[in-house]
């Protein structure tokens, strides 16, 4: 499959836009903490991760130019001029503190990594090639996230409370990013071999990645382990009434479907 064969692939264009915008937004939010991290070591890590995330966005944006959906506004395929309409609403504002950095690294970046794992053998080779490269760099990010979540949650008191609030603030929107199981865009990508899993399977893989750390710090979330199928599942009702299927983000509380 080549880039010219899918110029009218709206589903792929939308998901690539979301991946690129979230990576760009994460990098921008991380950038502040290159000087504001709690330790020198953390600041160095923040600087490296900022470069990685912005680099991931830069490798994804050029793909958008291959789709007819992007031709109306060439500015929307350049990182410097693009409007980040497809990034999660959590990233619209500056992080309130270091715990928001950690939560974004631990939840959202892990969710995006889960998608890239599912795309590394994609029939759409431009995505597969980028996914494989991104995954090499994300290994360090994952270790950073796991270590800081455990560290801050085990600190107890106000530190644990702040970290807990950051995790809860991003929890639902991260889970919703994969879409409902019948999400047309993700289902089409799965059916065509662009990714190897449906939304529910991707969510289960994501939970399998993050739950060991949360269990280790006795942080209970609305999920359950299905021992029969050896998988995690969400037990809460996700706010799909606020989910925008086009931008793959949640609308503010009290604002339902348009």
Cα–Cα dist 166/151, whole Å: 14
* The predicted structure's pLDDT at residue 71: 54
Dihedral, CA of residue 106, residue 23, residue 180 and residue 89, to nearest 10: 90
Cβ contacts of residue 220 below 8 Å, gap of 6+? none
Task: Say how far residue 43 (Cα) sits from the centre of its chain.
Answer: 22
Cβ distance 112 to 22 under 8 Å?
A: yes
Q: Whole-model pTM?
A: 0.91
Q: What is the spatial distance between Cα 221 and Cα 236, in angstroms, rounded to a whole number?
A: 9
Q: Which residues of the chain are under the pLDDT cut of 70?
A: 1-7, 69-81, 83-84, 254-258
Whole-angstrom distance, CA of residue 14 vs CA of residue 199:
15
Please give the distance of CA 78 from its chain centroid, rounded to a whole number: 20
pLDDT at 162: 98
In whole angstroms, give the CA distance from residue 215 to residue 179.
25
Residue 103's pLDDT is 98
């Amino acid at each position: 499959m080549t880039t010219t064969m899918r110029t009218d692939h709206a589903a792929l264009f939308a998901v690539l836009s979301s991946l690129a915008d979230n990576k760009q937004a994460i990098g921008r939010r991380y950038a502040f903490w290159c000087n504001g991290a709690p330790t020198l070591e953390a600041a160095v890590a923040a600087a490296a991760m900022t470069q990685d995330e912005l680099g991931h966005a830069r490798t994804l944006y050029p793909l958008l130019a291959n789709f007819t959906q992007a031709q109306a506004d060439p500015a929307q395929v350049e990182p410097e001029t693009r409007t980040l309409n497809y990034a999660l609403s959590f990233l619209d504002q500056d992080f309130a503190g270091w715990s928001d950095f950690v939560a974004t690294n631990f939840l959202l970046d892990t969710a995006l990594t889960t998608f890239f794992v599912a795309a590394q053998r994609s029939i759409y080779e431009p995505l597969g090639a980028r996914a494989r490269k991104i995954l090499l760099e994300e290994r360090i990010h994952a270790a950073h996230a796991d270590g800081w979540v455990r560290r801050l949650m085990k600190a107890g008191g106000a530190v644990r409370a702040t970290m807990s609030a950051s995790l809860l603030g991003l929890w639902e929107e991260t889970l919703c990013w994969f879409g409902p199981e019948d999400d047309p865009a993700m289902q089409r990508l799965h059916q065509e071999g662009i990714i190897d899993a449906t939304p529910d399977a991707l969510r289960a893989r994501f939970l399998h990645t993050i739950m060991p750390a949360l269990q280790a710090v006795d942080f209970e979330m609305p999920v359950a382990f299905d021992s029969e199928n050896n998988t995690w599942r969400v037990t809460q009702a996700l706010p799909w009434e606020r989910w925008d299927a086009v931008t793959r983000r949640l609308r503010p509380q009290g604002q339902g479907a348009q």
